[in-house]
Amino acid sequence: MTRLCICEMCSCGRHRCKHQPTALYKKGSKTNVLSEYSEKYPAYKGHMRPKSTKPQLQYKAHQGTMEGTTTFRTDYVPYVVTSRPEKQQAKYKPKPGEIDLGTTYKHDFNPYEVQPFVPSRPKEREHTTNAKLDTIPTYKEDFRQWEISRRELTKPDTPYQPPVTKFGNSTTFQDDFIHRGLVPRESYKPPNIARLSDAPFENMTSSKLSYVPHTLEARYIKPPVKYKPNSQPFQDLTTHRQDFQGLPSQPTKSCKPELLKVASNKPFEGSTEFRDHFQQWPVSLRQVRKSVEYMSPTEHMDLTTTSHTDYIKHQIQPFLSVKPFSLPTKSSEPFQGSTTMRDDFQPWAAPRQSMIRKQEEIQRASGKMEDLTTFRAHFIQHEAQPSFSFKPQNAPLRTDAPLQNDTVYRTEFTPKKISVCPASLESPPGFVFDNYDDRGHRFFRKTTSADKIETPKEMVLTS
């Protein structure tokens, strides 16, 4: 009886048996070689990735030779272009003789020899001795600190008594100064008035004396040229329309095979390792600890402090200020706001001087301006005629010949039947699991009449 392995059954080349890392540890025939996870949670595999029938994008280059001639190259005649001669510059010729570089400064101020300044102060010398320095100065030695007793005040304690008589507020300036009347001062500034001349204005210029007016000739008007249409018909046929004519054709048919969905009819097992191992446990609510209610004290609270108990209150009179009170002095006389500046410098009436303009010699025209131009006078308006469009109609050119839409892909492509790999199923059809070897290969044998009565437990296949 022939046995087949998963590697031998696979027709797509994607399924292989899981090989053992070593053949020293042998397993029984009824246990799985892989793990408990692969036995409980089988992998559902039946979906194969469809093969792409899209043709490859390859650039097809043109086999013919390209003519590099153009209308510009055939019509254009190159000419020999010579560079423009440059203007030769005259050579520089220095003038004979020597330049006198003498100045008045060099002539008047002669240079003198100046020696560097030598200081007359001798250098400072440091005299050091090995004797110990006495740190007691003469100030501490001569002026000793004496005990000083506090001196008693001899100022008599006399309270302040305000005066009874009224205070005279007149000053020496008010007593000695006698107010005099204001005397206006005369201004010696000349008046800013333009001086007019009595002589008549000479308005004759060289242009008025030399200019001679001449009569102008009539303006030449060019006669309009009448439009003459061409008698030959317009040739609107191009090389593209002449060489490329449209052919009637039918829409292209797709040669792509239909996508067949490969699915299994078995129900999906929703059990996972997380659902099996991690069960939901009942959780009780957390007990909340009750807070202790506040009870106010019944005894009286002693609010006395050390400051209240130790502090002794003394009877002290308030402090009286010796400073006299400042009473505001108000006068019933009006305020004199006049100053010497205001009295001596009075504002003078300075009217703005009018602008001096020259009298117009040419009289302006009083009539209406004739704005008629030569264009308006000679222009004759004609009725506009619509222009005829010579543009050809944008319609495709069709012929009765059929379109040759056969391609290499259509002629050479042969549709093939998509077959399901038997190694991708859990139990290959027509085979029953037999055993596995030390290297991990799983062997299946063909089913017989005895196997149909009692089938063994299906094992999980892995790809």
Three-state DSSP string of the chain: CCEEEHHHHCCCCCCCCCCCCCCCCCCCCCCCCCCHHHHHCCCCCCCCCCCCCCCCCCCCCCCCCCCCCCHHHHHCCCCCCCCCCCCCCCCCCCCCCCCCCCCHHHHHCCCCCCCCCCCCCCCCCCCCCCCCCCCCCHHHHHCCCCCCCCCCCCCCCCCCCCCCCCCCCCCHHHHHCCCCCCCCCCCCCCCCCCCCCCCCCCCCCHHHHHCCCCCCCCCCCCCCCCCCCCCCCCCCCCHHHHHCCCCCCCCCCCCCCCCCCCCCCCCCCCCCHHHHHCCCCCCCCCCCCCCCCCCCCCCCCCCCCHHHHHCCCCCCCCCCCCCCCCCCCCCCCCCCCCCHHHHHCCCCCCCCCCCCCCCCCCCCCCCCCCCCCHHHHHCCCCCCCCCCCCCCCCCCCCCCCCCCCCCHHHHHCCCCCCCCCHHHCCCCCCEEEEEECCCCCEEEEECCHHHHHCCCCCCCCCC
pLDDT digits (tens, 9 = 90+) for 392-401: 777 777 777 8
Q: Give a yes or no: residue 459 inside a domain.
A: no
Q: Give a yes or no: residue 339 inside a domain.
A: no
d(C-alpha 213, C-alpha 220), whole Å: 21
Q: How far lies 322's CA from each of 158, 279, 319, in Å?
A: 10, 98, 10
Are the C-beta atoms of 447 and 429 separated by less than 8 Å?
no
Residue 380 has φ and ψ, to the nearest 5°, of: -115, 120
Are the C-beta atoms of 356 and 194 separated by less than 8 Å?
yes
Domain count, the chain: 1
Q: How much is the pTM?
A: 0.20
Q: Give a yes or no: residue 33 inside a domain.
A: no
d(C-alpha 31, C-alpha 457), whole Å: 11
- Burial (Cβ within 10 Å: 0-12, 13-18, ≥19) of residue 437: middle
Q: Residue 37 has what pLDDT?
A: 76
d(C-alpha 431, C-alpha 436), whole Å: 14
Q: Give a yes or no: residue 179 inside a domain.
A: no
Q: Give a yes or no: residue 232 inside a domain.
A: no
User: What domain range is 17 assigned to?
Assistant: 1-21+421-451
State which residues of the chain have pLDDT below 50: 23-25, 27, 29-33, 455-463
Q: Give a yes or no: residue 352 inside a domain.
A: no
Q: Give a yes or no: residue 82 inside a domain.
A: no
Q: Residue 263 has what pLDDT?
A: 67
Q: Residue 47 has what pLDDT?
A: 62
Three-state DSSP string of 157-180: CCCCCCCCCCCCCCCHHHHHCCCC
Q: Which residue has the tokens 């400051």?
A: 307
Residue type, 251: P
DSSP 424: G
Q: Give a yes or no: residue 2 inside a domain.
A: yes
Reported in sequence order, the residue ranges of 173-276 that DSSP labels E, i.e. its strands, are none
